Amino acid sequence: MKTFKHTCICRTFKVEVKAMDNKPLWLICITHMLIEIYLLIQVALIPVIVEEFQLSLLEASLIATAPNLIMLLMNIPSGFLADHFSPKHLLALSMIIEGISAFFVSQTRNFWTLVLGVSLLKISSPIYHITGLSLLSRLTSSEKVGRWVGYHNALGNVGTAAGLVTLAVSLSTTGWRLTYMFWAFPALFWSIILLKFPHFGVEKAVKNDHSKNKSELKKSMLVLSSNFTILLIAIAVREIGASGSNTYMTTFFTDSKGLSETAASLIFSLGPFVGILGSLGGGFLCEKLGAKKALCWNIFGCAVALLLLPLTPSIPFLIFIYTLYSLFSSALWSPMNTLVAKFTPEARRGMGYSFYFFTEGLLASAAPTLAALIIEFTDVCFLFQCSAFFLFASIGILLLLP
């Protein structure tokens, strides 16, 4: 009887510990949902901004380029912060910056203050992503990283979809600024929840660092192994193709397909909804096929879908192909983040994600302007062909990885 009772107590204890272990992971995932609210809003607004402020497409591209440049500059210091400071304070800081900046954007009345506000808002993204993803990879076993990144990205897509749906509603009623004001308050409230959470189990990554005799710069450069460098090159080439087409997707819907701004925003908002399923599927494929194969197949699917988009003969078929593109596009993040965790040391994972996001941000800053020039001299359909070429090239580079 005592043995049976003892066994029951042990099992109950294990279940409770497991539930407690998952709490920090879900808090990270929910924070990601709120961070991604504004991910695509400024891109979806490009046709609206062109009309409201009487801009050329090249001028309006600053609403995507300038914030991406700010994110680029914030990536390296964010990695240092993630490796040296309490993660819950950094996650809370990202929410505070997002809430205050979003409220500021809602009050803007000219284009340059709008660019400033969105740029300030984007500071929250590298602080969150580098801290959140490095923390998530430390709190899970290597076998389950892909699965939890899938959950993480699925909730991120929930946030992005909620932001775009709110934008579609506000565009047809009071105006786009309501979207920024509406979501500012939940972000600020969530920062309080994060600050009240006791701990995340890993307060500072550097406590496990065994390279204390080396300078900070040398320890950071240890992250750049040959495999990780190949991965970064593949990520850079993929980003050139993906950023340009994603930035002007609503422009393609309105200019090439003749859709209204509201209809284009609604179709664009399907991407994050599909992305919920894609993120979960990406985590599953990552476990079953391995991160490298899963990433290659998802990039291949994106490239083929981009080539088919300009050829769509009807709106229903356009929606179908765009849905496929969104499915593959969201499924690639789980294997990509898993590979970053695989090729970086745990004690310097924050710096590993810094290099990863720096590489992405560098290309994401330049790609929208270059894409705008391509559209000015050709058309948006030719842009999709260029994007597909870079996606195929990135697969060739990924094949060099073990």
Q: What is the pLDDT along the chain (402 residues), one digit of tens a residue?
A: 444 444 444 443 343 334 346 788 889 999 999 999 998 888 788 888 888 888 887 788 788 778 878 888 888 788 888 877 888 899 999 999 999 999 999 999 899 999 999 999 999 999 998 888 888 888 887 777 888 888 888 898 889 889 988 988 898 888 899 999 999 999 999 999 999 887 665 555 444 444 454 555 555 566 778 888 999 999 999 998 888 888 788 788 887 787 877 788 778 778 778 888 888 888 888 888 888 999 999 999 999 999 998 888 888 898 899 999 999 998 888 899 889 888 887 777 778 888 888 888 788 777 877 888 888 787 777 888 888 999 999 999 999 988
Alpha-carbon distance 193 to 260, whole Å? Answer: 40
Question: Residue type for 97, please?
Answer: I
Tokens representing 13? Answer: 């204890």
Q: Which helix H or strand E contains 385, and what residues bound it?
A: helix 380-398
- Asked whether residue 278 is assigned to any structural domain, the reply reads yes
Per-residue pLDDT, 362: 82
The structure tokens 């307060």 sit at: 203
The structure tokens 């593109």 sit at: 325
Q: What is the pTM of this model?
A: 0.71
Taking the alpha carbons of 75, 125, 196, 347 in that order, is the dihedral positive or negative?
negative
Question: How far is CA 128 from each of CA 64, 69, 133, 152, rounded to the nearest angstrom?
Answer: 19, 17, 8, 12
Per-residue pLDDT, 2: 45
Alpha-carbon distance 271 to 309, whole Å? Answer: 14
What is the domain extent for residue 387?
Answer: 24-199+216-398
Question: How far is CA 110 from each of CA 107, 171, 222, rounded to the nearest angstrom?
Answer: 10, 18, 45
Which long-range contacts (C-beta less than 8 Å, at least 24 apart) are formed by 92-95?
Answer: 92/191, 92/192, 92/194, 92/195, 93/124, 93/127, 93/191, 94/31, 94/35, 94/124, 94/125, 94/127, 94/128, 94/131, 95/31, 95/34, 95/35, 95/124, 95/128, 95/187, 95/188, 95/190, 95/191, 95/194
Q: Do residues 64 and 172 touch, judged by C-beta distance below 8 A?
A: no
Alpha-carbon distance 258 to 224, whole Å? Answer: 47
E-strand ranges in 70-151 read: none
- Asked whether residue 18 is assigned to any structural domain, the reply reads no
- Total domains, the chain: 1
The CATH number given to whatever domain includes residue 162 is 1.20.1250.20
- Asked whether residue 161 is assigned to any structural domain, the reply reads yes
DSSP-derived 3-state class of residue 198: coil
Rg from Cα positions in the chain? 21
Q: Do residues 353 and 134 touch, judged by C-beta distance below 8 A?
A: yes
- Asked whether residue 17 is assigned to any structural domain, the reply reads no
- Asked whether residue 3 is assigned to any structural domain, the reply reads no
Question: How far is CA 123 from each of CA 95, 315, 357, 395, rounded to the nearest angstrom?
Answer: 10, 37, 13, 30
Per-residue pLDDT, 220: 55
- Asked whether residue 365 is assigned to any structural domain, the reply reads yes
- Asked whether residue 346 is assigned to any structural domain, the reply reads yes
DSSP-derived 3-state class of residue 174: coil
- Asked whether residue 371 is assigned to any structural domain, the reply reads yes
Per-residue pLDDT, 218: 55
Query: Which DSSP state fits 45?
Result: T
